[in-house]
Chain A
């Protein structure tokens, strides 16, 4: 299995400040044949299903605010919220889909400081 490890487990950021969440995979999720990283990011608010934010490691889903951005390649990835808004309070998950056995990170809980 590809193990996805997120850091930190929880994060408190002031409104308007930058929030950064990291995700590390136990093996590369970069497919050499197409040079794509098979990595997605989701946002989950209480009582709701996860919402897709990012796919191919850095492609923002339609309708996702541009304060959300993501980067990384191979085994190390980052989700950044450039200016935290109150509605961004949630748990964030990364997911690899490189392997047929897809796996998720353990989640990072983002709160307001």
Chain B
């Protein structure tokens, strides 16, 4: 079955750019919408954005245009960049697949990766 795995630095300095990659295995990345979702410690889930394999993107306006997603179908990967990070961006970051279309529940999810913003 399809599995997702997040990767990237676990520590990012304030004002710098957070960069994460999600690798999809067990299936093709094509023809699906892929999202990033984050969860600060002890808090709820916040959707960051989605990308289709054509490269079309949607982002949560709460991130004030700091998020950029990209996709590399040849590597079965998609990525997130979040610029000008602050301590408030410290969270576990999950990648997930929208099951069907852009308006969909998420399944499966990656295991998540903790990103800490600190100098």
A interface with B by C-beta (< 8 Å): 38, 40, 48-52, 55, 61, 93, 95, 97-107
Contacts and interface: CB of A to CB of B under 8 A. Distances in A.
A40 B105 contact: yes
Of A61, A97, A107, most buried by chain B (CB within 10 Å of CB) is A97
A104 B61 contact: no
Contact of A55 (B45, B94, B105, B112): B105
B112 A49 contact: yes
B116 to A, nearest CB: 16
Interface in B32-78: 44-47, 58, 60-61
Given A93-B44, A105-B44, A107-B44, A49 B109 contact: yes
12 contacts: A49-B110, A50-B106, A50-B109, A55-B105, A61-B107, A93-B44, A97-B103, A98-B103, A101-B60, A102-B47, A106-B44, A107-B44
Contacts of B60: 101
Interface in B69-119: 94, 96, 98-99, 102-107, 109-112
Given A100-B102, A101-B60, A101-B61, A93 B107 contact: no
A50 B107 CA distance: 9
A23 to B, nearest CB: 13
Given A49-B94, A49-B110, A100 B105 contact: no
A103 B110 contact: no
Which of A50, A61, A98, A99 gathers most chain B CB within 10 Å? Answer: A50
Contact of A104 (B44, B99, B103, B109): B44
Contacts of B96: 49
A34 to B, nearest CB: 11
A95 B106 CA distance: 9
B84 to A, nearest CB: 21
A103 B60 CA distance: 10
A101 B47 contact: yes
